Amino acid sequence: MNIFEKRPLALILCIGLGGFFLFTFDITFLRIILIISAVLPCILSFILKFDKSRQLLLRVISAVLLLSFLFSFIYFDLTFKLYNVYDDEVEIIGVVDDISESSSYTLRLTINVESINGKRTPGCRVYAYPTKTEATGIIDNTRISFRTTLGGFSDESMSFNLSNGINAYANDISNIKIIEYTNGDLSGRIERLREYLTRYIITLSDADSGALLSALLLGERDYLPNQLQLDFRRIGISHILALSGMHLAILSLGIGKLLSLFGIKKKLRLVIISVFVFLYMTLTGFSVSVVRAGVMLIISSVLFLLSRTKDSLTSLTLAVTVICVATPYAVFDISLWLSALATFGIIALSEYTGKAEKAKTRSKKIITYLIFGILTSIFAISSTIAISTYSFGGFSILAPIATLIFSVLAEVIMYLGCVMAIIGWLIPIGALLSPLCQLVYYLAGLMSSAKFAYVSSNFTFVSALIITYSVSFFLFIILRLNNPKKAMKLILIFFAAVMIIPTAATVGENYKETVAYSGGYKSDLMLVRSKNEVCLINSAQYSKNLVYDALDLLEDANATYLDKYYLTHYSWSLDDDIETLLKNVLVREVYLPYPRNDDEDTILKLIYKSVENTNTVVVIYQEYETVTVGDYSINLLYSAPYGETSMNAFSVCKRDTVYLYLSSGLLASKEAELLRKYASLSDYIILGDHGKKYKDKIYLDECYEDLDGLVIHSDNIFLKQHNMQYYIDNGCGIWSHPEEIIYFLSE
C-alpha cells in the first residue's frame, strides 16, 4: 500500500517520534545502536548512488533522529528526573493538586512544584507521602513548603508516573508548612465547571443515563458503575468510555452538519469547528487522546484553509509531534500511542478503500457500511494489539463486533445528550435517552458474561504470533504491493488466527487441573482450577495494594475470570480489596466465613454495599463447610475472628491428594496438635507468613511420610538439616524462605 508515498513529512515525523521514544530507555548498548542507526542513512547517501531527492531524504532522516536523541537526553536525563539533579535535602514550595489515601495512616499528595531551593521549576510535579497527622489542614489548592530528599520510582511504576508528568517522589518529609489557601489555577476552575455540568446532566436524566452521558461528553467516569467499566473492558470497548478522537469527531461532525443547514460556507465552518475543538479540549482537561485528535483536526483545517488540501496522516504525525514537544513525558502515555496507532490504522483502511466503487442501492449501502465498520475495528485493533497485549496480558475477541454496535449507540446518545443539555429543562428528552442507555448496560453485561469474551495472551507462542502479525500488518501498510487485494485477504485470515488461537489456548488452559500457590510480602494466595471452574483463595493480611498480587497470579495462570473468590477471614480493608478486585476481573461469587462478632457483621455490611451494583454474589459459609471447585473441595479448618490474629488453616483436596495451608503461628498455638494431625495426612504443606503474634523460631521436628511438597514461606519456621535430607531422599520438593514465589504445585 505504501501509505507514506508522497508524504515525506509524515515519514520523517514517524521516524523522529520513534527515535525519541526509544532513546528514553537508559540502556547504553541500545543507545549506541540507535546512534549508529541514525548516522548510517547519512553515510549511505554519500556512498550509494541515489537521486538527489532520496539523498536529501536520507540526510534529513539522520538529522531528525540525532536531534530527537539529543532532545530526549536533555529533557529526561538532564532535566526531568529531579532525583538525578538534586542529591541532597531540598526545600520545595508548591501547590497541592490532588490528595488521595496511600495507606491507613499516610496520604499521597500530588504537588505542582513552584520552586526548589528558591529556584523556579515550572512544570515539575512530585508525589509526597506525609502522615495524616502531618497533612492536617492541607486541602486541594493549598500552597505548602517542606523539606525532603527526592527519589526515583521502581521499574514497575516508572512509565506510569512519567506518563503523568511526575518527576520524582518526596522521601522523608519534614517541616511541612501551610503558606496559604488558593482558589486554584485555571485547570481547577475548569474541573469545577465539569463537575457542575455532570451534576446538571444527571438531574435532567436518571442516574445510569447521566453517568454514561457524562463519561461520553465530559470524560467524567466517577459516576459510572464499576460493573459497566469492567464489562466494557472485557468486550474490548473501554476506549468508548475514555474521551478520544472518536468523541471529538462525533461532536465536530454534528456541529459541521448543523452549520451547513444554516448555509454557512466551508471555510467559516472550519474556523468555527476549530474554535469549538479548542474549547472542548479545555473543558475536558486536555485529555491526551482528545488533544491528539483536536490538534490533528485543527492542523487539517489550517492545511485546507491554506492550500485546500487535507492530509490525515501528516496531520496525525504532526499532532503527536506537537504534543511530545509541548509535554515530552506524554511519550510514556500508553493512551496516546493506542489512540494514535488506532487512528493510523483507520487512515490506512481509508487509503485502501478510497478507490473502491461506491454502492448504489440501499441494501448494498447497508452491507458496505457494516463491512467497513467491522474492517475499521479490525484495522484499529491490528494497529494496537501488540501494545495492548504487552500492557494488559489479554484482549477481547468480541471487540470488532462490539465496537461497531456500541459506537453507533454512543453516537446517538451523545447527540441526544447535547440536545438534552440545551433544552432538557423544557422538553423531557431524558425519557428518550434512558432506554438507549439501559440498552447499552444490558448488552455490555450480556456480552461480558461470556467466560471467554476476554482471553489471555500471556502465552509465549501467542505473544510471538501477535508480534509476527503486527509486523506483517504494518508491512502491508507501508510497502508497495503488487496485489494488495490478495495481501488484504491474507491479513484478514491472519487476524482470524490471532483471535482463534489465543481463545483455544485460554479455553484449554481453563480445563486443566491446576493448584498454584503464590507468596510474596504479606501475600498468600492459592489458585484452584478444575473442569472450567476457577477459584482464588486469599489467606493474606489484606491491603489494597496486595490485590494486585492476586491479579498477577491470575495473569501468570492465564485465568481471565473467577468463578469463586474464597476468603478465609475478615479484615479492616476487605471491602476495599473486593471492590478493587471487581474493577479488574469478572468474579461470580465471593465466599466469606460466617461472621462471629459485631466487627465482622459491620465489615460484611460494607462488603454487601461494595458489590450491590455488580453481578457478583456474596456466599456465606460455615466452618468445615465444603466448597467445591470442579473435582476439588476446599475446607476451612481454622480461622481466628476479627480482632485477634490473621491465623487460618484450610485444605484443598482432590480424592486422595491433600494440599494443606497453615499460618505460621498456628504451629505454636493451642491448635497445633490438631493441625499437625492434618499435616500428617497431607501430600503438600504450605506454611504461610501469617500469625505475627508469634515471633519465636519454630523448628519442624516431624518427618511426614509420603510428602510430595513442602513450602516454607514464614520467617520464623525452620527445617532441621536431617529432616530436609529425609525429604530430599524421598523425592519431596522443598521451597524454603523464598522472597517471592509462584509455584504450580499440580498441573
pLDDT for 281 equals: 87
* pLDDT digit string, tens, across residues 473-531: 999 999 988 888 999 999 999 999 999 999 999 999 888 888 988 877 667 889 999 98
Backbone angles phi, psi at 49, to 5 degrees: -90, 105
Mean pLDDT, to the nearest integer, of 547-560?
Answer: 87
* pLDDT digit string, tens, across residues 440-461: 999 999 999 998 999 999 899 9
pLDDT for 355 equals: 65
Mean pLDDT, to the nearest integer, of 276-299?
Answer: 82
DSSP, res 223: T
| Least confident residue range of 23-27, 215-219, 241-245, 366-370 | 241-245
* pLDDT digit string, tens, across residues 618-652: 999 988 889 999 999 999 998 888 877 778 889 99
Tell me how far the alpha carbon of residue 597 is from its chain's centroid: 38
Using alpha carbons, list the distances in angstroms from residue 14 to 314, 320, 471: 10, 9, 16
| % of the chain surpassing 90 pLDDT | 39
Confidence band, pLDDT 50/70/90 cuts, at residue 190: confident
| % of the chain surpassing 70 pLDDT | 94
Per residue in 4-37, is it b (16+ CB within 10 Å) or e — as a string?
beebeebbbbbbbbebbebbbeeeeeebeebeee
Q: What is the mean pLDDT of the chain?
A: 87
* pLDDT digit string, tens, across residues 711-732: 888 777 778 888 888 888 888 8
pLDDT for 543 equals: 55
Strand positions, DSSP E, 451-522: 454-456, 514-520
Cell numbers at 624, concatenated: 468445615
Among positive and negative, which fits the CA dihedral 210, 211, 217, 222?
positive
- The answer to whether the beta carbons of residues 537 and 525 sit under 8 Å apart is yes
pLDDT at 52 over 80: yes
* pLDDT digit string, tens, across residues 314-327: 888 988 898 888 88
pLDDT at 356 over 70: no
- Residue 350's identity, in one-letter code, is S
For residue 10, give the nearest of 319, 407, 354, 461 by alpha carbon. Answer: 319
Q: What is the DSSP track for 380-408?
A: HHHHHHHHHHHHHSEEETTHHHHHHHHHH
Enumerate the H helices of 235-359 as residue ranges.
238-241, 245-261, 266-283, 288-307, 312-326, 334-353
Confidence band, pLDDT 50/70/90 cuts, at residue 563: very high
pLDDT for 653 equals: 93
Backbone angles phi, psi at 639, to 5 degrees: -150, 125
pLDDT at 736 over 80: no
Using alpha carbons, list the distances in angstroms from residue 162 to 127, 275, 332, 483: 12, 31, 6, 44
